[in-house]
Structure 1
């Protein structure tokens, strides 16, 4: 079990926050990794910006959200405790969940799918999944019902050697089939966030908070 709450960095809003932007880092990184994206995606600082740190310390170093169990199968004994502590973290933020844009990269994208669409969880304002996959874990289920016009952004590199682009395409297809208002961008990059998609993601965040 994970006893301690998540560590995190916080970027205040310019005034009273209209919502929050929460970004979850990838495997082996930490809360500093995506922090610069807060200003890139919300340059007017309308939102409270938060970058939590994964609760696990695993080889080869850095912070992790779960132990690798393969793609698309996080290892259950670490996935479920992290899911619980991360859900409690989101629920304790000083803005309601339906005013939170939740996003992440790689493992952080996987957790964004889980926390945003996990059965029984309240839905955030929008989900951004960058270079990740929808998790498949025994005893856990994503709820893709009633996604009509729900804002989801997915970006993936076609040259990704870590999480092949087919997993991003599959997630996009499932979201599209469920009726989501989908932004899907596939660009010729490896396992990274392509700077060329940031302008569209900035617009996506602003639209989700409109």
Structure 2
């Protein structure tokens, strides 16, 4: 089995010439179809690459194991993120994608994984739009990677009981300290993606010029 075949996934080619590719990473309990509408809303005509997380938690798909709610198995996160990076490279070759125009977008567990791609595999993606995610390595300080030119949008709720706003702000700081251009938007709600945040993310995507 090839690296590409190891991940159940959906690929939708771009319908607009020169459009970027969105790598879509679902949240806990969802699958490869869950964020396709988000991808279409963020960037009309973009190619969509949407894999399924390979960890099973009581019948729910996830990207990496956790020890309990809000506490990650960081070693597993590192290993699984490396596997996902291999899939992205394989898909880039198989689907003839522009490696400099891939943008990761994820929600919750998928957002944490997308943040892991940025911090552990710099240069793999050109940017990220992450919702309800936080600092993926939790108590560990990420390495001194170079993220200059990487554009990131973060959307988080100040009342989120799952991904606390402190973890979201820590992620913004970690990315910014490594040179990423971060635009963070906080909304008054919880663990969700409100329409106004999606609208701001769509505007950011248009301005980012991927």
- TM-score after normalising by structure 1: 0.84
Q: CA deviation at 1:7?
A: 0.9
Whether contact under 8 Å (1:17, 1:48) holds in the other structure is no
Whether contact under 8 Å (1:19, 1:209) holds in the other structure is no
Distance 1:200 1:113 in 2: 19
C-alpha RMSD over aligned residues: 2.5
Paired position in structure 1 for 2:66:
68
Whether contact under 8 Å (1:117, 1:123) holds in the other structure is no
Q: Please, which of 56, 61, 86 is the counterpart of residue 88 of structure 1?
A: 86
Q: 1:177 to 1:71 in 2, by over 3 A?
A: farther
- Structure 1 residue runs of 5 or longer lacking an equivalent are none
1:152 aligns with 2:152: yes
Distance 2:145 2:74 in 1: 24
**Counterpart of 2:170 in 1: which secondary structure?**
helix
1:136 aligns with 2:124: no
Deviates more, 1:11-20 or 1:125-134: 11-20
Paired position in structure 1 for 2:128:
127
- Structure 2 residue runs of 5 or longer lacking an equivalent are none
Whether contact under 8 Å (1:72, 1:135) holds in the other structure is no
Q: CA deviation at 1:143?
A: 4.4
Paired position in structure 2 for 1:161:
161
Distance 2:101 2:134 in 1: 24
Q: CA deviation at 1:25?
A: 0.8
Paired position in structure 1 for 2:180:
180
Distance 1:167 1:90 in 2: 26
Equivalent pairs, count:
203
User: After TM superposition, what 4+ stretches of structure 1 lie above 6 angstroms from structure 2?
Assistant: none
Paired position in structure 1 for 2:41:
40
Paired position in structure 2 for 1:55:
54
- TM-score after normalising by structure 2: 0.84
Distance 2:168 2:133 in 1: 6
